[in-house]
Amino acid sequence: MVLSTDAATMLFPLTAFAPLILLAAAALFLTRPGCRPRRLLSIAEGSALVAIGLVVAGAVQLWTVGSQAHPASGFAFVRLDAISATLALLVSFIGWVVTRYARRALDGEAREGTFHGWTLATIAAVLVLVQAGNLVILIASFIAVGIFLRQLLLFYPDRNEARRAASKFTRVWTASDVTLIVAAALLWQAFGTFDIATLNAAANDGLPASAQVAVALLVLTALLKTAMLPVHGWLTEVMEAPTPVSALLHAGVINAGGVLLITLSDVVQQSPGAMAILVMLGGLTALFAGVVMLTQSAIKTALAWSTIAQMGFMLLQCGLGLWPLALLHIVAHSLYKAHAFLSSGNAVRTVNAIRKPGPVAVPGPGAVLRSFGLALALYGTVAIAFTLVVGPKTPQALALGAILVFGVSYLIAQGLADAAPGALTRLTVAASLVTALAYFAFHVAAQVLWGPALPVPPVAGAMEWQLIVLAVLSFGGVAVAQALFPYWAHHPSTAGLRVHLANGLYLNAVFDRMIGGFRVSHKS
């Protein structure tokens, strides 16, 4: 239910007050640079808790009175719906966790207060971004996020690597802001409004030529902001900042491109070409980054490549029109990646404490083929069962599930190896079955939560079927190669390939030379 203008004006979304609280707290720190914050630290964590409380109250408000937007002379500043409420809950929770962690991690740093100030300001800007009601507010929040995050990346300004990474991030982020501004201008020309709800509704009647160009620019904006190939390098180089910054970036800010696409999903889906680009470039990035991640020795760098791969997979979901699953991916990845970065300091100790299971069974080609056949058979059985219970699934959803099942086929291959014990075989088969069940269960839950607010996947035509087949074969081929890796890992050519992959096939170096990223100004 969407409230009338008068009712929505009286019931201002409570989530809109959360950024104001955080900005007020940020001002307390930024106006006292260089001093030990002492009792102000409790204000930082307390403001984050108040922000969570306001967002929770906003979710209750949504539950009781329905979706709403707060207009001013027909100009909606903020919106409250299932999507914005979910993202606001996610951002506020992760913001509180990062703030609480930073309170101890930065204890004793000379610029500790400044760090807390910019952290709170960044969280506030992201909260505005996820509940913006029009493109003007959306663009302003994107620009603010870029400015505030740059200050966090430069927390150690004397480090050349930090200045280089911050400069590279600023170039990519600013370029994406420019493309977004041009896209907004074209959408205004096509529809005469900046209001997001109005744009989504108007797009269902088709897109004029200027709007088609705008969608292409929206996709380009998302690709830049989510560190897709070939501009992915800045995300792997921002490790000179404190760990809380990495958590905030990888669990929150990097999702901005996906949030943009989901927010304007009705508009984006009207362009089959734009959807195809998301599938192809998102899938390519996911495959490439996933393979490179396996060759990294540094924990935080491996996590950065993991983020690139996950963002590529999320954009692939958007390109297939699986918008609720893309939103679920953002939520799950954010929670996981925040924990992964904030606990990265204990990773080596944790791995060493794990009891080693002994030699791993090496599957041969026959075991690999049997494992993939078994995994797909289990998946097909579960898919048929869910179809009978909750109704048929789209080809896009079935293809995505098959891709996810490929991920556990490697485990099944180990379980089917000749040297594998029976317990391992049973365990790996059970893992495949649980994965298939979980996928369809989460799909149903995401559809219930966010499906009514998002467009349904497009009807699969010739181009959509080609993209689906290409995606399934590509991910399947990489999964087979991964499963066979222990079988040919000792081949002489493998060592050289590993070196090249560890360096990301030098794509980032090429991009660096193009933009002059190797040149870093040194302070006198």
- Pick the closest to residue 288 from 232, 213, 353 (CA basis): 232
Q: SS3 sequence, 398-426?
A: HHHHHHHHHHHHHHHHHHHCCCCCHHHHH
- Pick the closest to residue 166 from 241, 95, 257 (CA basis): 241
Directed axis angle between helix 209-225 and helix 299-319, to 10°?
160
Cα–Cα distance measured from residue 475 to residue 420, given in angstroms and rounded to the nearest whole number:
25
In this predicted structure, what is the pLDDT of residue 506? 76
Q: How many residues are listed for the chain in this entry?
A: 524
In this predicted structure, what is the pLDDT of residue 6? 44
- 């195809």: which residue's tokens? 276
Cα–Cα distance measured from residue 150 to residue 169, given in angstroms and rounded to the nearest whole number:
8
Type and span of the H or E element at 159:
none
**Are residues 70 and 13 in contact, defined by beta-carbon separation less than 8 angstroms?**
yes
In this predicted structure, what is the pLDDT of residue 415? 59
Residue 267 CB burial class (10 angstroms; 0-12, 13-18, ≥19): buried
In this predicted structure, what is the pLDDT of residue 73? 42
**Distances from the Cα of 157 to the Cα of 113, 149, 300, angstroms:** 16, 13, 20
Cα–Cα distance measured from residue 217 to residue 42, given in angstroms and rounded to the nearest whole number:
43
The domain locations on the chain are 1-133, 160-341, 358-489
Structure tokens at 143: 């620009």
Cα–Cα distance measured from residue 213 to residue 186, given in angstroms and rounded to the nearest whole number:
8
- CB atoms under 10 Å from CB of 405, counted, come to 26
> 323-355: b or e for each residue (b if 16 or more CB lie within 10 Å)?
bbbbbbbbbebbeebbebbbebeeeeeeeeeee
Q: What is the pLDDT along the chain (524 residues), one digit of tens a residue?
A: 344 444 444 467 888 899 999 999 999 888 776 555 666 678 888 899 999 999 999 889 888 887 666 554 445 688 888 999 999 999 999 999 999 998 888 877 778 888 889 999 999 999 999 999 999 999 999 999 999 999 999 888 888 888 888 888 999 999 999 999 999 999 999 999 999 999 999 998 889 999 999 999 999 999 999 989 888 888 888 777 888 898 898 888 999 999 999 999 999 999 999 999 999 999 999 999 988 888 887 777 888 888 999 999 999 999 999 999 999 999 999 999 888 888 876 665 665 565 554 455 566 677 777 777 777 787 888 888 888 887 778 889 888 888 888 877 766 666 566 555 566 667 767 777 787 888 888 988 999 999 899 999 998 888 889 999 999 999 888 888 777 776 666 767 777 777 777 777 777 777 777 766 555 554 43
User: pTM score, two decimals?
Assistant: 0.89
Cα–Cα distance measured from residue 37 to residue 370, given in angstroms and rounded to the nearest whole number:
61
User: H helices then E strands: how many in the chain?
Assistant: 24, 2
What is the residue type of 444?
V
**Are residues 428 and 414 in contact, defined by beta-carbon separation less than 8 angstroms?**
yes
Cα–Cα distance measured from residue 395 to residue 392, given in angstroms and rounded to the nearest whole number:
9
- Positions of E strands within 53-173: 68-72, 75-80
C-alpha 158, offset from chain centre: 30
Q: What sections of 451-506 are H helices per DSSP?
A: 462-483, 485-488, 492-502
**Distances from the Cα of 331 to the Cα of 144, 382, 449, angstroms:** 22, 25, 13
Residue 274 CB burial class (10 angstroms; 0-12, 13-18, ≥19): buried
In this predicted structure, what is the pLDDT of residue 34? 58
